[in-house]
Amino acid sequence: MNESTAMNIEQIKEYLPHRYPFLLIDRVLECQPPTRIVAIKNVSINEEFFTGHFPHYHVMPGVLVVEGMAQAAAILSFKTLDVRPDKKSVYYFAGIDSARFKRPVVPGDQIRYEVVAGRSIRGIAKFSGIARVDDLVVAEAELLCAYRQVK
């Protein structure tokens, strides 16, 4: 498969089992299986995590920024494999390396996730991810994800 496709939220929900409040991708701007994906998340003050993180200065938790990268990686993997998740399979977040958080993400920001696929062996794939707001890097990480059948 060597196509570049944008995806709206309904199409994204076909490839990710996550739902509100844990669906962290709002739109895919481009998906070029098997190599890269660019997706966005619009950060709203209405996000549930802002009620407690932090009430006096709203900052999106860094782990959720990295989770958004992993969700983008999952879409890229499913599109590459030409499969959709079902109740018999799961795409686990298996590891994070070299995670760096450069600046806070706050309400009103639009995060642009840029994820590039690396090596894949026996259902475990490595990805490089960068999250940007207004062309400034807010986070970056190396991600390991595993596609597994569940019982």
Torsions phi, psi of 131, nearest 5?
-110, 130
CB neighbour list of residue 17: distance below 8 Å, 6 or more residues apart: 85, 90
Q: Could you tell me if 100 and 130 are in contact, meaning their C-beta atoms sit under 8 angstroms apart? A: no
Kindly report the length of the chain: 151
| Single pTM value for the model | 0.94
What residues does each domain of the chain span?
A: 9-149
pLDDT digit string (tens) for the chain, length 151 residues: 345 789 999 999 999 999 999 999 999 999 999 999 999 999 999 999 999 998 899 999 999 999 999 999 999 999 999 988 888 888 899 999 999 999 999 999 999 999 999 999 988 999 999 999 999 999 999 999 998 888 7
The strand pair at 124-133 and 136-149 is best described as antiparallel
Distance of CA 7 to the CA centre of its chain: 14
Name the CATH architecture for the domain at 9-149: Roll (3.10)
**Residue 53 is a catalytic residue:** yes
Active-site position among 18, 53, 56, 58: 53
